């Protein structure tokens, strides 16, 4: 008979979530079709090439033409060889297309962690967030004050020993006896993500300038597979997250404790002194994350559309949006969990309020002047975000969970149109809103096969896809095929 109690939860990503394992996808293993990304095994494609295709591929490799070799693979893909089709956000569609045709770029995409070639939300990622919440709840104010003073004396980036000592003290276990760690009594299963539950998106990094995020001058292009979220406003539909958590409840802890002396063998305690019950773990987790939710809004998104969006997300699941105490009470009444996980959830979510010692990196001085040394910080100086179809900044990492039997229906957020620029830089007249991803079929390509083009005198049909870097192309002028300069033609 199992001593553990299994709890089943259901929920959704409120904002984008990315959990990766360090692997990347290169442009030899994907292409764009119908504004989606199709992924395939390049080795399988090469193996099935015709003899002529293989010769062209080998020739490109020998000549060092990386892009040309990749293009030979993509041209040879049969639809039966496509392993997966993924949606792409409007901000990433054009970027990814250009990466495929730019010999100076690797064109790497960062996928979600996978099992059996399908994305999963690892239980270890969620358990890490639960551990941080439980640690914060078990630490006394005196412990926080004492260890904070010790960390103040550590060099930035070198607080690991102090952190380890704090965890042993707060959770009452010896570092040499990890069997005493109370979180060993909590297990979290991996969550399979349904097909269509992820998409490729562009991550934007913005720094604080004064008390606001500076959205100008950010040129880094990073593309990640992430969960579709409620914050996407139905442009992409979030998948249901089915989470299973097993805990050792109080009666089972007592039963094990009665049997433990026979197994001690000289160890002062071979079992945890106090393991969290399911309800205790939920309250601790929510207390930590509710403070983080409102703290991040105040530090980074105050007065921005994101502030209102975050309120909409809570209201969509019938939770209070503006009061920290009311939100904590409502989460407990609904037996709901507000949690932050994954990459770009920033160091604040993985540290404890009142004991945060992040590393603010050293900065070199100008013209040989002394630089600034590394320092401790309570909050970071930047945020990594995505953008939805309404150009709202979307923080990474937030999910909401309910007990499965009492979970509401999946909520929806109303779509919003992209705001139109105030005026045209050239004419000073009002302009229309920029098109969404559905209006950008030629990402990475100057022209596509079948496009009608003209040079002002003649009109013809493009015979093959024409990448952005190409200088020549073949055009059919009513049965007469000719090779022409790409720059002389425009699309009709």
pLDDT at 422: 35
Whether residue 47 is contained in a domain is answered as yes
The token pair that represents 7 in the structure block: 């709890």
Q: Domain check: are 400 and 273 in the same one? A: yes
| Number of domains within the chain | 3
Flag the least confident range among 72-86, 357-371, 383-397, 450-464: 357-371
Q: Domain check: are 76 and 159 in the same one? A: no
Distance CA 269, CA 263 (A): 9
Whether residue 190 is contained in a domain is answered as no
Tens digits of per-residue pLDDT, 334-378? 999 999 999 999 989 998 888 888 888 776 666 666 677 888 888
Neighbours of 32 (CB within 10 A): 19
Map tokens 């930035």 to a residue: 156
Q: Domain check: are 392 and 459 in the same one? A: no
Whether residue 438 is contained in a domain is answered as no
Task: Find out whether 277 and 190 touch, Cβ atoms under 8 Å.
Answer: no
Distance CA 52, CA 99 (A): 27
Looking at 380, 406, 432, which one is the last position of a domain?
406
For the chain, the maximum distance between any two Cα atoms, rounded to a whole number of angstroms, is 95
Strands (E), 67-221: 82-88, 114-115, 118-121, 186-188, 191-192, 198-209, 212-214
Q: Domain check: are 261 and 355 in the same one? A: yes
What are the residues whose beta carbons fall under 8 Å from the beta carbon of 44, sequence distance 6 or more? Answer: 81
Would you place residue 325 in the very low, low, confident or very high pLDDT band (cuts 50, 70, 90)?
very high
Q: Domain check: are 277 and 363 in the same one? A: yes
Q: Domain check: are 172 and 261 in the same one? A: yes
Q: Domain check: are 30 and 83 in the same one? A: yes
Distance CA 455, CA 492 (A): 10
Q: Domain check: are 290 and 263 in the same one? A: yes
What are the residues whose beta carbons fall under 8 Å from the beta carbon of 249, sequence distance 6 or more? Answer: 5, 277, 278
β 198-209/82-88 pair status: parallel
Distance CA 409, CA 235 (A): 18
Q: Domain check: are 94 and 54 in the same one? A: yes
Q: Which of 239, 252, 203, 247 is nearest to 223 (CA)?
A: 203
pLDDT at 481: 82
Looking at 84, 109, 134, which one is the last position of a domain?
109
Instruction: Put residue 326 in one of left, alpha, beta given phi > 0 → left and psi -120 to 50 → alpha.
Output: alpha
Q: Is 186 helix (H, G, I), strand (E, B) or coil?
A: strand
Reply yes or no on whether the pLDDT at 235 is more than 60.
yes
The range of the structural domain enclosing residue 392 comes to: 121-185+246-406
Whether residue 164 is contained in a domain is answered as yes
pLDDT at 219: 59
**Sheet architecture: strand order including 241-247:** 186-188, 241-247, 5-13, 398-403, 336-340
Q: Domain check: are 55 and 92 in the same one? A: yes
Would you place residue 249 in the very low, low, confident or very high pLDDT band (cuts 50, 70, 90)?
confident
Map tokens 């998106």 to a residue: 201
Distance CA 76, CA 324 (A): 56
Task: Find out whether 489 and 455 touch, Cβ atoms under 8 Å.
Answer: yes
Mean pLDDT over the full length of the chain: 85
Q: Which of 32, 189, 231, 195 is nearest to 119 (CA)?
A: 195
Tens digits of per-residue pLDDT, 377-389? 888 889 999 999 9
Whether residue 260 is contained in a domain is answered as yes
Half-sphere exposure of 268 (CA within 13 A, CB side): 8
Looking at 109, 131, 151, which one is the last position of a domain?
109
End-to-end CA distance of the chain: 72
Would you place residue 125 in the very low, low, confident or very high pLDDT band (cuts 50, 70, 90)?
very high
Whether residue 66 is contained in a domain is answered as yes
Reply yes or no on whether the pLDDT at 416 is more than 90.
no
Q: Is 417 helix (H, G, I), strand (E, B) or coil?
A: coil
Map tokens 């009594």 to a residue: 185
Q: Domain check: are 93 and 163 in the same one? A: no
Whether residue 1 is contained in a domain is answered as no
- CB neighbour class for 307 (10 Å; exposed up to 12, middle 13-18, buried from 19): middle
> ∠ CA(386), CA(325), CA(124), 5° rounding?
50
Q: Domain check: are 144 and 266 in the same one? A: yes
Whether residue 5 is contained in a domain is answered as no
Task: Using alpha carbons, list the distances in angstroms from residue 344 to 16, 101, 265, 340, 376.
Answer: 10, 28, 45, 10, 19
């Amino acid at each position: 008979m199992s001593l553990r109690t299994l709890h089943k939860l259901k929920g959704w990503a409120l904002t984008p979530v990315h959990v990766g394992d360090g692997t990347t996808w290169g442009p030899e293993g994907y292409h764009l079709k119908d504004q989606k990304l199709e992924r395939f095994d390049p080795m399988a494609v090469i193996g099935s090439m015709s003899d002529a295709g293989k010769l062209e591929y080998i020739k490109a490799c020998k000549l060092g033409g990386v892009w040309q070799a990749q293009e030979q693979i993509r041209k040879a893909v049969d639809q039966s060889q496509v392993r997966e089709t993924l949606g792409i956000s409007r901000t990433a569609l054009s970027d990814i297309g250009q990466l495929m045709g730019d010999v100076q770029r690797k064109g790497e995409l960062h996928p979600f962690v996978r099992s059996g070639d399908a994305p999963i939300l690892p239980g270890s990622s969620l358990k890490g967030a639960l551990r941080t919440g439980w640690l914060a709840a078990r630490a006394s104010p005196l412990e926080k004050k004492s260890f904070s003073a010790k960390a103040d004396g550590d060099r930035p980036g070198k607080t690991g020993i102090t952190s380890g000592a704090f965890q042993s003290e707060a959770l009452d276990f010896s570092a040499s006896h990890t069997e005493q760690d109370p979180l060993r009594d909590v297990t979290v299963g991996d969550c399979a993500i349904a097909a269509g539950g992820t998409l490729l998106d562009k991550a934007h990094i913005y720094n604080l300038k004064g008390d606001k995020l500076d959205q100008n001058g950010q040129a880094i292009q990073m593309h990640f597979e992430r969960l579709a979220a409620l914050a996407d406003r139905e442009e992409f539909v979030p998948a249901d997250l089915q989470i299973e958590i097993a805990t050792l409840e109080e009666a089972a802890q007592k039963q094990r404790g009665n049997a433990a002396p026979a197994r001690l063998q000289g160890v002062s305690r071979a079992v945890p002194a106090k393991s969290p019950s399911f309800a205790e773990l939920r309250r601790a987790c929510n207390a930590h994350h509710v403070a983080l939710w409102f703290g991040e809004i105040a530090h980074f998104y105050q007065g921005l559309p994101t502030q209102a969006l975050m309120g909409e997300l809570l209201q969509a699941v019938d939770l209070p949006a503006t009061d920290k105490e009311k939100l904590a009470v409502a989460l407990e009444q609904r037996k709901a969990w507000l949690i932050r996980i994954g990459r770009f959830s920033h160091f604040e979510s993985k540290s404890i309020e009142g004991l945060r010692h992040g590393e603010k990196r050293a900065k070199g001085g100008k013209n040989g002047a002394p630089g600034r040394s590394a320092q401790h910080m309570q909050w970071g100086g930047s945020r990594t975000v995505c953008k939805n179809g309404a150009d709202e900044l979307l923080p990474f990492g937030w999910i909401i969970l309910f007990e499965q039997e009492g979970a509401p229906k999946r909520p929806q957020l109303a779509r919003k149109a992209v705001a139109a620029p105030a005026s045209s830089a050239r004419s000073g007249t009002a302009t229309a809103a920029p098109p969404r991803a559905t209006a950008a079929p030629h990402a990475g390509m100057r022209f596509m096969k079948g496009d009608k083009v003209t040079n002002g005198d003649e009109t013809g049909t493009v015979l093959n896809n024409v990448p952005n870097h190409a200088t020549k192309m073949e055009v059919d002028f009513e049965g007469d095929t000719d090779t022409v300069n790409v720059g002389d033609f425009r699309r009709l």
